Amino acid sequence: MEMNDQLLGGLFGLCIGDALGVPYEFTERNTLRNNPAKDMIGYGTHFQPPGTWSDDSSLTFCLAESLCYGLNYNDIAKKFCSWLNDGYWTPHGQIFDIGKTTLKAIKRMESGVDPLFAGSTGELDNGNGALMRILPIAFYLKNRNLNDQFKVTHSVSDLTHRTRRSEIACGMYIQFAINLLNGYDLQSSYNKMKNVTNQYYSKSEYERELYHFDRILKSDIYKIPENEIYSDGYVVHTLEASLWCVLNNKSYSDTVLSAVNLGGDTDTTASVAGGLAGIYYGFKAIPSKWIDRVARKEDILNLAERFYKGLSVK
């Protein structure tokens, strides 16, 4: 599969998963079991038209936009601030959803705090707000050495979520994505990610946090029953749920719909899962009716083209 198909698949896969989940955010799993999500609809929780994506995609696009010109943490921070204040990379010109930890970090950036120290570090700052936007860094880091891949991923997390747990979750997710970009299948990407994660984080300052990820690293997350998969806003649960959906389905559409139908933080679970599924199955595997309906389709296509060119000359 060509890199460009993977790049388009990743960006559209993420934002379409997001858009599928937005109308159902906070809906309970039992409710969705009786009336499951089957297609892209509108309104619902946030009363937004069909194809509307949330902060997950907005901040993902801000990161991708910045990476078109190389890695510059100050520029990423500037774009995050523009999103908050000016509606930059929003679907319809204004934000309608933002996490508390992300908001605090952007306010710190605005006040002049070094972006790498803007993220919060408390136990309650282990939400999924960094994981949901981290995917573009996989394309940038694909050919870097392993140490650089982890260190840069941690730094991109730190812009809003400067906790060891968020850094590890983002590190694991990006390793899975890079494995897919390098042509591994889903099962091999998962196994390789587990091995590399244990190798990198063991015997380091991260080791005491690793037990939070035991269900992914010490067992096979996809074998856990659905009723033991949690789909709230906690970063570990989001990573678990997303990997569970990716590894238990055989197509892009089934992956993202299963993520939405877990309920809870539907947009983020579906966007995090959708980014990986989009890379693996490719842009051409995403239903065209969803691509055509997603907000700012042409702008996203243009961003993907510029990002691809930027990566080519990096």
DSSP class of 43: B
For the chain, give every domain's residue range. 5-38+54-312
Compute the CA torsion angle 122, 235, 19, 191 (nearest 10 deg). 150
* Spatial distance between the Cα atoms of 129 and 117, rounded to a whole number of angstroms: 16
**CATH classification for the domain delimited by 5-38+54-312, as one of 1.10.357.10, 3.20.20.20, 3.30.70.20, 1.10.4080.10:** 1.10.4080.10
List average pLDDT for each run of 10 residues in the chain, which is 314 residues long: 86 99 96 96 88 98 98 98 97 92 98 97 96 99 97 99 98 99 98 98 93 98 98 98 99 99 98 99 98 98 96 74
Compute the CA torsion angle 181, 267, 291, 186 (nearest 10 deg). 30
At 231-283, the pLDDT tens digits run: 999 999 999 999 999 999 999 999 999 999 999 999 999 999 999 999 999 99
What pLDDT does residue 314 have? 55
